[in-house]
Amino acid sequence: MDFYEQTMLAYLSKHQLFRNGDRLVIGVSGGIDSMVLLHFLSQQRSQLGISLTVVHVDHMLRGDQSAEDSRFVEQQCKLWDVPYESYQAPIPAILAEKGGNTQNVCREERYRIFEFVMKKTQSEVLITAHHADDQLETILMDGMRGSLKHGDFGMRNKRPISGGSLVRPQLAVTKADIARYAELNKVPYREDPSNASDAYTRNRIRKTLLPTMALENPRAAMHFSELAEQLNEDAAFLWQLAQQALEELLVSPEELQISAESFRSHPSALQKRMVLLLLNYLYDGKRVLITSPLAEQVRELLQSSSGTVFLHLPQNYRMIRQYDRVFFEKSTEQAEFQRADIGQLWSPPVEGCRYRVVPIGEEPEVENAVFWYFHSEETDFTLRGREPGDRILLAGMSRAKKLARLMIDEKVPSQQRDYWPIIVAGKHQVLLVPRLRTASYLSRSKRSEDNRVLIEQCIDYAK
């Protein structure tokens, strides 16, 4: 038994990622990572007491190569006696209709298919082939984006998904371990040329940063994977404590009201999580983007019990502290949003969405986003309120339309018109009136003359 097999069996036993008798769905692309995992599980299924169903998703991005991948995986499944299902995800058509980041759209469609097959086969577990090197890439990407503040540290080895669990047993091994297993066991696999493309942030990290780190320590990826596991275990415990502490603080389950003094009696690590839980309760599944600065503002407001203080929150809510009593309410006044330069940074959240303009080729890898492509020689892009004289050129019109007239036609209540956000290039070139209309020169499909992309990201607050 080689190192890969020993490590994987020990890891599965330690973490109980699935149980004897479980039905597993495994996503297999045909690449070395998923083919090695499939070979290992198919060889060990009797010992582990599991049944397998392979799912291959053709994203229809590489023509004949994609079709050959599908036939290859099907052939190997027949040789290894593993049930096989293949599906096509029309990614080009989806991108043409809705725009978006290619990798994120592929991932969303792939997991939608995985969950469908889980339900169809009554399987409890979805297995993916992410390994320790993938974990390190994810940690580095999240760190560079600044998204490590409130979420998981990298990928968890097990998390709930619709109808079951997603598990990643190969987080216990590195890419080098997988390659050695493939060589020893003569596991066939196919190469995806897109993995070598510098168009994706993850690929650039894989080709530049990881080799440098491996020169310092060949097991660096494994150490980061172990660190992520430890930190996520600690974080899960802290979330549990925060949940218990907040339940004790709430005056009643139906009313979001707490004592600031009682809140301050808890350590900072619990305070930060209690704030996020409070905001989860407040919005109760609504599409709201909670930024780190906003969460910190809420926490700072709770650090005193003197006087009366108001804090405006997304979707026209207010947090009010009257001496020691803290509660939330829906504001009856329309709160004006903050003017923002979106050519460099994301805008503050507006009704659960944020906006940014970047040059084509620099699109960030974000989820729940819509991309509009356009050409502009302007360098300043702003989210602001309506100003006198603002006009937008709509599709099918030869002359630009006044925004005041547009809002009347769209039946926007009069009290909201002065506070409605718009996005402009330069001083007055209106690109987008969120939730209403886009300018005629914006397109969901990338054209040869386009040099900019406007991104709208609407996010469900991550619990």
Tens of pLDDT, residues 339-387: 889 998 888 877 778 899 999 988 888 777 889 999 999 999 999 988 8
Longest dimension (CA), the chain: 75
Domain final position from 280, 309, 330: 330
Which among 260, 251, 298 has a CA at the least distance from the CA of 279? 298
- Would the annotation count 376 as a binding residue? no
Residues in the chain with pLDDT < 50?
460-463
73's tokens: 């995986």
- Residue 454 CB contacts under 8 Å (≥ 6 apart), including other chains: 355, 356, 357, 371, 372, 374, 381, 423, 431, 432, 442
| DSSP string across 171-202 | GGS-HHHHHHHHHHTT------GGGG-TTSHH
Element (H, E) at 225: helix 220-249
238: in domain:
no
125: in domain:
yes
242: in domain:
no
SS3 assignment, position 148: coil
Are 306 and 350 in a shared domain? no
Which among 254, 290, 33 has a CA at the least distance from the CA of 149? 290
Are 212 and 257 in a shared domain? no
| DSSP string across 87-104 | EE--HHHHHHHH---HHH
Are 98 and 163 in a shared domain? yes
CA angle 100, 101, 106 (to 5 degrees): 100
- Would the annotation count 49 as a binding residue? no
Residue 400: exposure state from Cβ atoms within 10 A (0-12, 13-18, ≥19): middle
240: in domain:
no
160: in domain:
yes
Residue 67 near residue 52 (C-beta atoms within 8 A): no
For 151, 174, 269, 287, the CA distances from 273, given in Å and listed in that order, are 10, 32, 7, 19
pLDDT number for residue 460:
47
9: in domain:
yes
Domain final position from 330, 365, 392: 330
Are 421 and 442 in a shared domain? yes
Count how many domains the chain has. Answer: 3
CA angle 192, 195, 196 (to 5 degrees): 110
Q: What are phi and psi of 39, to 5 degrees?
A: -60, -45
- Dump pLDDT digits (tens) for 22-40: 999 999 999 999 999 999 9
SS3 assignment, position 411: coil
Are 202 and 263 in a shared domain? no
Residue 157 near residue 236 (C-beta atoms within 8 A): no
Which among 180, 177, 158, 170 has a CA at the least distance from the CA of 134? 170
The CATH number for 324's domain is 3.30.465.60
Domain final position from 311, 330, 349: 330
- Would the annotation count 33 as a binding residue? yes
Helix 32-48 with 175-184: angle, nearest 10 deg: 70
Are 25 and 84 in a shared domain? yes
Indicate yes or no: pTM above 0.75: no
Only one residue has tokens 């990290």, namely 205
Write out the E strands in 285-427: 308-313, 317-322, 325-330, 340-341, 353-359, 369-374, 381-385, 391-392, 401-402, 421-425
Write out the E strands in 20-130: 23-27, 51-58, 84-88, 125-127
The CATH number for 35's domain is 3.40.50.620
Are 389 and 281 in a shared domain? no
pLDDT number for residue 332:
56
Are 355 and 259 in a shared domain? no
266: in domain:
yes
Are 321 and 383 in a shared domain? no
Element (H, E) at 448: none
- Would the annotation count 389 as a binding residue? no
- Would the annotation count 30 as a binding residue? yes
Are 410 and 317 in a shared domain? no
- Would the annotation count 459 as a binding residue? no
Reported for 206-213, long-range contacts at CB under 8 A and 24+ positions apart, including other chains, are 206/133, 206/137, 209/140, 210/133, 210/136, 210/137, 213/136
Are 120 and 162 in a shared domain? yes
| Domain that includes residue 454, residue range | 340-458
